[in-house]
Amino acid sequence: MRYISTRGDSPALDFEDVLLTGLAPDGGLYVPESLPQFNLEEIRSWRGLSYSELAFKVMYPFVEGAIPADDFRTMLDDTYGAFAHKAIAPLVQIDSNEWVLELFHGPTLAFKDFALQLLGRLLDYVLERRKQHVVIMGATSGDTGSAAIEGCRRCEHVDIFILHPYQRVSEVQRRQMTTVQGDNIYNIAVRGNFDDCQRMVKASFGDQSFLGGKTQLAAVNSINWARIMAQIVYYFHASLALGGPDRSMAFSVPTGNFGDIFAGYLARKMGLPISQLVIATNRNDILHRFMSGNKYEQQHLEATLSPSMDIMVSSNFERLLFDLHGRDGHAVKTLLEDAAKGPVSIDDFRWKQARSLFDSSAIDDKDTCDTIRDVFQQNAYLLDPHTAIGVRAARNCRRDASIPMITLGTAHPAKFPDAIAASGVSAKPELPAHMVDLFEREEKYTVLDNNIADVQGFIAKHWKNT
């Protein structure tokens, strides 16, 4: 499998190099040159497989040639064997033909674990084979950070630097990152927002001279193709559990960086019958404004009760734009350069194509709280604020009640006790046993100004080849 850049000016790479390169040198994101195709008969034959066996079927075409099959199987068994629920991603019914796919049974209680616990193992494997060191630089609005630290902290050949927006993640999310001790783990709280953090990460990939040529950056954000690849699997898993592929499914996906829903779009392109994909956003609704009015316009980023989705510049949207523009990287490059300066629209026929692929809905804090409360009153089931946005958007956009509507349950409610309290639900979500002492653990992080020179200077000073 070869991977090409969405901006058209970088050489095609194989899986191993894509894994280590993260962002393409031309600033684009890597995508596979072509997608594996599965027919219904083949997908049907996967019924009854364990999660990791299914993951192998879906993902191996992407890594073949770079990782031997048996080694990849072992990584998948180790990754999903560490999840707390035997079903790995169980489905919970919350209404007639309406489901939540619980993706928060991994070690850090969010869907990010599905990809990042695997990414850590992949990096470790490849770096050990090459005897190479990398500096991991990532940006988080709350969930990616802890999942990346957990996934990569045992890797011998990495130093990890995670940037989060100062005072704009939940306390549980912050503590999940800052209480992990290790002399190769650094948390940086940037006086800015998530977009600022992500911008610094991308700019640093573009010019790595601050590392003095002695090591290279690696990405844990969904700019790294391996992240997207692993997130495709649970669409197949959910569908198979509810009678797919012989019936179609609808999915509603709480979306910040557009990676999770892009994985659903790819699952459909690979052959999984999906009748509807709903983009669920919070008040930071650039994607919904684009889908409803063909205007892609960055606005002021607001803090909401769903901090993980407080994102305006949605990285993976670029991967969709690449497809919408017939995979013309130069067209995407021009469009995104224009978008950085002001509002942009795309050709009407391309926008109509986007609208035929996705529905969308933007949910404010009040509706988020109402949904948490309503679902709790009806089912005694506690949604985290991001999943609540997904459920509400699913209800707003649903087209056919006979088709199962599956909302991706992106995080455990215990990560967001303040949002649960704001909804008026008195139940207190409990942290699982391995985190009960989270509030007593010592924190370690550094607050820096929203300034790339300061951040790069910090990294340059602290990384070490262990």
Ligand X SMILES: N[C@@H](CCOP(=O)(O)O)C(=O)O
Catalog residues that contact ligand X under the rule CB under 6 A: 140-145, 221-222, 256-257, 259, 308, 315
The 3-state DSSP composition of the chain as helix, strand, coil percent (nearest 5) reads: 45, 15, 40
Contact 202, 456 (CB under 8 A): no
Do 259 and 267 touch, CB atoms closer than 8 A?
A: no
The size of the chain, in residues, is: 466
CB within 8 Å of 338: residues ≥ 6 apart: 344
Q: Kind and range of the H or E element at 60?
A: helix 51-63
Q: Which is nearer to ligand X, 28 or 145 (CB)?
A: 145
Q: Which residue has the tokens 């013309």?
A: 328
**41 Cβ contact partners less than 8 Å away, ≥ 6 residues apart:** none
Q: For the CA atoms of 306, 315, 20, 15, what is the dihedral angle to 10 degrees?
A: 110
Q: What is the DSSP string of 325-338?
A: TTT-HHHHHHHHHH
- Cβ of residue 144: shortest distance to ligand X, in angstroms? 3
Q: Which is nearer to ligand X, 117 or 308 (CB)?
A: 308
User: Looking at beta carbons only, is 43 or 217 nearer to ligand X?
Assistant: 217
Name the minimum Å distance from CB 310 to ligand X.
8
Report the DSSP beta bridge partners of residue 279: 253, 360
Those residues whose C-beta lies under 8 Å from the C-beta of residue 335, and which sit 6 or more positions away, are 321, 325, 344, 346
Closest-CA residue to 308 (of 124, 108, 450, 448) = 108
Q: Which is nearer to ligand X, 145 or 404 (CB)?
A: 145
Q: How many CB atoms lie within 10 A of CB 226?
A: 25
For the bound state, the minimum distance from the C-beta of residue 345 to ligand X, rounded and expressed in Å, comes to 25
**Minimum CB distance to ligand X, residue 410 (Å):** 9
Residues annotated as part of the active site: 112
How many Cβ atoms sit within 10 Å of the Cβ of residue 291? Answer: 21
Could you tell me the smallest distance in angstroms from the CB atom of residue 151 to ligand X? 12
In the complex, what is the shortest distance from the CB of residue 145 to ligand X, in angstroms, rounded to a whole number? 6
Q: How far is CA 274 from CA 16, 233, 248, in A?
A: 30, 14, 5
In whole angstroms, the minimum distance from the beta carbon of 272 to ligand X comes to 21
Instruction: Determine whether 33 is exposed, middle or buried from the number of CB atoms within 10 Å of its CB (0-12, 13-18, 19+).
Output: exposed
Minimum CB separation of residue 185 from ligand X in Å reads 16
- Shortest CA distance to 335 belongs to which of 356, 353, 351, 311? 351
Question: Would you tell me how many other CB atoms lie within 10 Å of the CB of residue 370?
Answer: 16
Q: What are phi and psi of 359, to 5 degrees?
A: -105, 170
Grouping H, G, I as helix, E, B as strand and the rest as coil, residue 168 is coil
Nearest to 390 by CA among 416, 412, 361: 361
**Phi (first) and psi of residue 299, to 5 degrees:** -125, 180
Q: CB of 255: closest distance to ligand X in angstroms?
A: 9
